[in-house]
Homo-oligomer: A and B are copies of this chain.
Amino acid sequence: MGKDKSIFNKKIIPLRTNIDYIDSQILSLLAQRQVQVEEVVKLKKKHHIPVYHPAREEDLLSKLRAQACKANLDPNFMEDLYRVILRQSRVKQTDQMEHKGIRPDAKILIIGGGGQMGRFFASLFQKSGYDLRILTEEDWDNAKNLCKNIDLCLICVPIEKTEDIIEQIAVFLDPETILADLTSIKTRPLEKMLESHPGPVTGLHPLFGPTAGSLDKQIIVVTPGRNSDHCQWLVEQLTLWGAVIVQSSAREHDEIMEIVQALRHFATFSFGQFLYEKHARIERTLEFSSPIYRLEFGMVGRLFAQDSGLYSEIIFATKERRRLLKDYIASLSEHLEMLEANDKHLFIKKFDQIAQWFGPFSEQAMRESTFLIDKLIERF
């Protein structure tokens, strides 16, 4: 066996050398590719063309898939690989593009610019050459002064302070100043802004955390308030930074967020609470975990790595949310009888009903999550 092993070691060296040489050639080609991409960016910048070109990407991918088949390579592998390359190229391009300001002369005041989300937007505006001011809690004496001649006042404070701050700041604003907020609820802040400020008003809700790093493909909900034309440059600026804009009424936004935020986080919280009560042995459990369980369990763990204050604000934000969560508990309690009676038939009946209601979304969810599970296996 020792001798066999040493023969193997001798024979494998030239093969590994070949592979290493091929890899260094691939690397050098990727570097050349990056140079070409930089040229494309310069050109796009000069001609004000957006970075993301889905049709070009899809075209490139389908060409590569066809070439892969001819070269005896797995086309799915080729597509996976190029999705990584195209993403990198998009990030590179956006990095260089996003600095461009739509109205770089505009004066912007961020209220709460000391918080994480405030700092994130402050840095975006600053890089794009806006005239930026920041108002933190200590600067209130200077508020009137900071509000002079500003084009946009962006409220970026915790949910529970939003309405008070709107009221306090609005009195200092010019009638032409845009008043906007980033709160994760929209109906009441928007009403308060419309009530307190006679000028242009718009609500914004960025659907991501301040750790996102860039706006590339991130969603921002826009709930128009008053004088949307006047606010248009702001929306365009967010788009140029890479954000995807979803337009909605404040009411629709809040109804959807009851589910997307309050219900989901509460369900996750309750699951974590139960694991804690039962003293579940997490480490050992993970050894028994298929990637899909690891993923779902990770979603629970992830919640508790975050700020409890933030989540209490999200969950307890409105009485509508609390009512929904009570309904959720009531809905769960209705399953007690089914469990008590060991009624599999009822379970199957309910399951099939829900499956039918979900319709094609289930299949799509299956595909998406299977893709992610493959990624998880790849990585760990």
Contacts and interface: CB of A to CB of B under 8 A. Distances in A.
Contacts of A77: 84, 88
- Stoichiometry, copies per complex: 2
B312 A351 contact: yes
Most interface-central of A87, A260, A283 (chain B CB within 10 A):
A260
Interface stretch (A120-128, A172-180, A269-277): A269-277
A190 to B, nearest CB: 16
A288 B331 contact: no
Given A276-B353, A348-B312, A363-B305, A288 B219 contact: yes
A259 B216 CA distance: 37
Interface string A62-83: 0110011001111001101111
B365 A339 contact: no
Given A30-B71, A221-B288, A264-B293, 5 more contacts: A26-B33, A260-B285, A299-B299, A299-B365, A301-B358
A331 to B, nearest CB: 5
Interface majority SS (helix, strand, loop, mixed), chain A? helix
A22 interface: yes
A329 interface: yes
A217 interface: yes
A88 B378 CA distance: 9
A378 B301 contact: no
A171 interface: no
A5 B288 contact: no
Most interface-central of A8, A300, A309, A354 (chain B CB within 10 A):
A354
A55 interface: no
B31 A377 contact: no
Nearest to A76: B88
B246 A287 contact: yes
A210 interface: no
A88 B64 contact: no
Contacts of A316: 339, 342, 344, 347
Contacts of A329: 332-333, 335-336, 339
A38 B216 CA distance: 39
Nearest to A269: B351
Given A305-B362, A328-B274, A368-B380, A74 B60 contact: no
